[in-house]
Amino acid sequence: MGCGRRVVGGAELIGMMLLMLCLNMLMLASPLLIWLIYMDLLKIYMGFSLIEFVESVLQNYWNSLTKWVPPPVKMTSSYVRDSINVSRKRMDVESLDMLQFHWWDYSNPGYLDALKHLTDLKEEGKIKTVALTNFDTERLQIILENEIPVVSNQVQHSLVDMRPQQRMAELCQHTGVKLITYGTVMGGLLSEKFLDTNISIPFAGPAINTPSLQKYKRMVDAWGGWSLFQGLLRTLKQVASKHGVSIATVGVKYILDQPAVAGSMVGVRLGLAEHIQDTNAIFSLVLDEDDMNSIREATAKGKDLLKVIGDCGDEYRRA
Give 207-247 pLDDT, tens digit per residue.
898 899 999 999 999 999 999 999 999 999 999 999 999 99
Report pLDDT for 273.
65
The answer to whether residues 53 and 19 touch, using CB atoms and an 8 Å cutoff, is yes
Residue 25, in any domain of the structure: yes
Residue 311, in any domain of the structure: no
The SS3 call for residue 152 is strand
Q: Which H or E run contains 264?
A: strand 261-264
Residue 34, in any domain of the structure: yes
Residue 302, in any domain of the structure: no
Q: Which H or E run contains 150?
A: strand 150-156
The SS3 call for residue 233 is helix
Average pLDDT, the chain: 84
Residue 304, in any domain of the structure: no
Report pLDDT for 28.
45
Residue 196, in any domain of the structure: no
Q: What is the pTM of this model?
A: 0.82
Instruction: Give me the number of domains the chain comprises.
Output: 1
Lowest mean pLDDT among 20-24, 40-44, 59-63: 40-44
Residue 232, in any domain of the structure: no
Which burial class, exposed, middle or buried, applies to 141 when counting CB atoms under 10 A from its CB (0-12, 13-18, 19+)?
Answer: middle
How far is Cα of residue 159 from the mean position of the Cα atoms in its chain? Answer: 14
Where in the sequence is the domain holding 42, given as residue range(s)?
1-62
- When pLDDT is cut at 50, 70 and 90, the band that residue 267 belongs to is confident
Residue 53, in any domain of the structure: yes
The answer to whether residues 220 and 189 touch, using CB atoms and an 8 Å cutoff, is yes
The answer to whether residues 55 and 39 touch, using CB atoms and an 8 Å cutoff, is yes
